[in-house]
A and B are shown apart, each in its own frame.
Chain A
Amino acid sequence: MTKGTKGAGFPSADLVRAVLKGHSGLGLAFAALLYLICLTGTIAVFANEFQRWENPAVKHMETMSGEAAQAAYRAALDRAEGSVEHVLIIMPSEDRPWPTIRVDAKDGSQISWVADNAGRITGKVREGWTQFLTRLHINLHLPRSWGGFIVGLTGVALLSSLISGVLAHPRIFRDAFHLRLGGSRRLQEADLHNRIGVWGLPFHLIVSLTGALLGLSTIIIGALGMAVFQGDTAKVYAIFTPPHPAEDARPAPPLDLRPMFAQIAARAPRGRISYLAVEHPAEVGGAAMFEVDDGSSRLANADSYAFDRQGKLYHEQKAAQNNVGQQILGSLGPLHFGWFGGGSVKIAYSLLGLGLTYLAAGGVTIWLARRRDKGRPAPGWERVWTALVWGQPVALTCAAFAALFTPSVMPLIWAWAAVGIGALIAAALFPSAIVSQAGRAITGTLLIVLAAVHSAFFGTGDSMALIVDGALGLTGFILLATLILRISVPQKAVPAERRRA
């Protein structure tokens, strides 16, 4: 670090200024990515609810029998064109109360079906918006390894910003309750930035660390394979995944899943099958892997079982016997997305996620306000940043709107990209205040129209779809209210000693 002032306590003023320089530079370099990833992550907390919103007419069920699962899987195989590589059967759950049967063809194409409780296929699953949203968050719709790396790198930048943010603000814990609104824009934003930063710190650390590890996993495994397994990354994956039966591509009738369901019911009577993956279903070397929620309160509570074609159990891993590494691995996803404590934790995650999104956006606002205060305003960057911040909600809403008309993801990507670019072009033509107001007005209006159109044309068969529509409409009204009303905040006197501080 820069040389500290002699005799000064830790951290010295010079250290603070040096760290603040790094914090500021890193935040600016990753601002747009941080904002986009945090915003989409906040919305993606409700991925299961959005999937129900996309399929409000699907019949609900609590469980699905082995007989029904077998029938649905056979029906999905019969509908497949060409050779099938895998079949993934996601069983009904509290979050998504219907089964999904996804067939992966050898040419890489995928198709997902939904079935009723007798195992009859009732139609294709609509998941365009959910897929668009989650893939935007996970890999930015780039090739998976590259996109994942960029998102992982952004997670590391966030983690680094948290470290430097705490070091750069020696009063951050002492001032943990200061929230002074009004007066200088920069100071107001700094108060919001620091308060959200300090109270959300455990959440920020959890999501950035888990997100960074998930995003960087491919490159970490690649490096590990290179360094200690002579470049064979399959050996690294093999440490974590059930072994596969010997490859045998000779054709065979589809695997019979029913005896496997019966064995699992006997082995784990309190368990609930989350999903099963059938590998090479029409080959002699076929196998089926089951993930079974053991009903415990552990974060990683999935037992796994693997059966060969004859229904012989050749792998069993109980969650209760997981070592620390397996527990960490099983906890990464739930901890990152907030899928471990029901609706209350999801709502808390969305609020804290919104705070993190504000943190990413507010950091740049502080930098811009500081430049303005010092007589070096950057009006061009102010317009670009406003267009990016308010263009993304418009672009995401347009993508959700497009999802009403098409089940595929590609048109949604185009809609999102076109609107996002359009917002940046608008930044060249209009001042940032107009761009900000227009962004809020358009997002608010579109959200209300989206909720109304969805409930009118897709029906209200699922209470969750109604709740999502209500939440979208309410968000739209709040955004419009910030424009229409000047919310008057009751004046509170600032205590004298706090003003001096």
Chain B
Amino acid sequence: MSPEAHFTAVTLILGNSAAGAWMLRRAWSRKAGKAPWRWAGLCMLLLAIILAASMLGNGRGTFTALTLIGVAGLGVVASGYTIRPAKAGRAAREGLAPEPAERVPSAWRTTLRWSLAGPIGLVAAMSLGISYAVWAPGEAQTRLLIGGLIVPLAWGGAMAWTLADSRILRATAVLVGTAIVGFGAAMLRGFA
């Protein structure tokens, strides 16, 4: 693709994305009749992705569109900023941003919680990824790569869960159980 054609494609995708984000903001700012603007905005964003995929290739175009939609959306948000009066601070504070939960300080619970989020979560996530790689059908490279992607996703999910869950023994049991079952299943079969 020539640089000129690429520039045209990117301009078109960015313009479509900005139009989609603007329509969504119209929906957001209206008291009534939101639905047509919302659907139009979502369709424009979808169109930006389809256009990008058709002009730049499926993978390259889709990821280009996802990136440019983010930039266009932030541009639309920035263009619609408002100034909050200093006095409104206290009133606004009451209606927004919930406070994080307070927990009774406990050294062993804190240690266990971070152990679950860290090494135990890693081992459990590894066991899921590896047992996927071992048991799932398909080409070896595909199973290994998808298994590899499962590891950070599962570990991230485990971190989010264990740092929030107050029933820490349940989380321990689930993660340890997952690790044992996952690694056991992987070792039982071996990689073929």
User: Which residues of A does B touch, CB under 8 Å?
Assistant: 1-2, 13-26, 152, 155-157, 159-164, 167-168, 176-177, 179-184, 186-188, 190, 195-196, 199-203, 206, 208-209, 212-213, 216-217, 220, 223-224, 227-229, 236, 239-240, 296-300, 323-329, 331, 335, 338, 340-342, 344-345, 348-349, 351-352, 355, 370, 373, 489, 491-495, 497-499, 501
Of chain A, the residue at the smallest CB distance from B171 is A1
Given contacts A2-B165, A184-B84, 18 further A-B contacts (CB under 8 A): A1-B166, A19-B160, A156-B155, A159-B156, A160-B156, A182-B85, A187-B84, A195-B77, A208-B152, A212-B152, A212-B156, A296-B57, A324-B139, A325-B143, A338-B67, A351-B74, A352-B70, A498-B82
Contact of B160 among A167, A195, A213, A298 (CB under 8 A): A167
B67-106: CB near A (< 8 Å → 1, else 0) gives: 1111101101110111111111110110111111101000
Contact of A190 among B6, B97, B139, B183 (CB under 8 A): B97
- Complex alpha-carbon distance, A340 and B152, angstroms: 23
Of chain A, the residue at the smallest CB distance from B10 is A344
- Complex alpha-carbon distance, A22 and B156, angstroms: 12
Question: Closest CB of chain A to B19's CB: distance in Å?
Answer: 15
User: Which residues of B does A touch, CB under 8 Å?
Assistant: 1, 3, 6-7, 10, 24-25, 28-29, 31, 56-57, 59-61, 63-64, 66-71, 73-74, 76-78, 80-90, 92-93, 95-101, 103, 117, 126, 129-130, 133-134, 138-149, 151-153, 155-157, 159-167, 183, 186-187, 189-191
Contact of A183 among B74, B89, B141, B167 (CB under 8 A): B89
Residues of A contacting B: mostly: helix
Task: How many A-B residue pairs have C-beta atoms within 8 angstroms? Tell me.
Answer: 286
- Say yes or no: A220-B126 contact (C-beta < 8 A), given A26-B117, A188-B84, A352-B70: yes
B152 touches A19 (CB 8 A): no
- Complex alpha-carbon distance, A298 and B138, angstroms: 21
Contact of B191 among A13, A181, A229, A495 (CB under 8 A): A229
Question: Closest CB of chain A to B85's CB: distance in Å?
Answer: 6
Taking CB atoms, residues of chain A closer than 8 Å to B163 are: 21-23, 25-26, 160, 164
B166 touches A227 (CB 8 A): no
Taking CB atoms, residues of chain B closer than 8 Å to A181 are: 81-84
Question: Closest CB of chain A to B67's CB: distance in Å?
Answer: 5
- Complex alpha-carbon distance, A25 and B101, angstroms: 11
A182 touches B83 (CB 8 A): yes
- Complex alpha-carbon distance, A489 and B79, angstroms: 12
Taking CB atoms, residues of chain A closer than 8 Å to B189 are: 228
- Complex alpha-carbon distance, A266 and B97, angstroms: 64
B60 touches A340 (CB 8 A): yes
Of chain B, the residue at the smallest CB distance from A20 is B100
- Complex alpha-carbon distance, A296 and B147, angstroms: 28
B157 touches A239 (CB 8 A): no
Of chain A, the residue at the smallest CB distance from B92 is A187
Taking CB atoms, residues of chain B closer than 8 Å to A323 are: 138-139, 141-142
A324 touches B145 (CB 8 A): yes
Contact of A2 among B70, B144, B160, B166 (CB under 8 A): B166
A21 touches B143 (CB 8 A): no
Taking CB atoms, residues of chain B closer than 8 Å to A202 are: 66-67, 69-70
B100 touches A184 (CB 8 A): no
Taking CB atoms, residues of chain B closer than 8 Å to A19 are: 160, 164
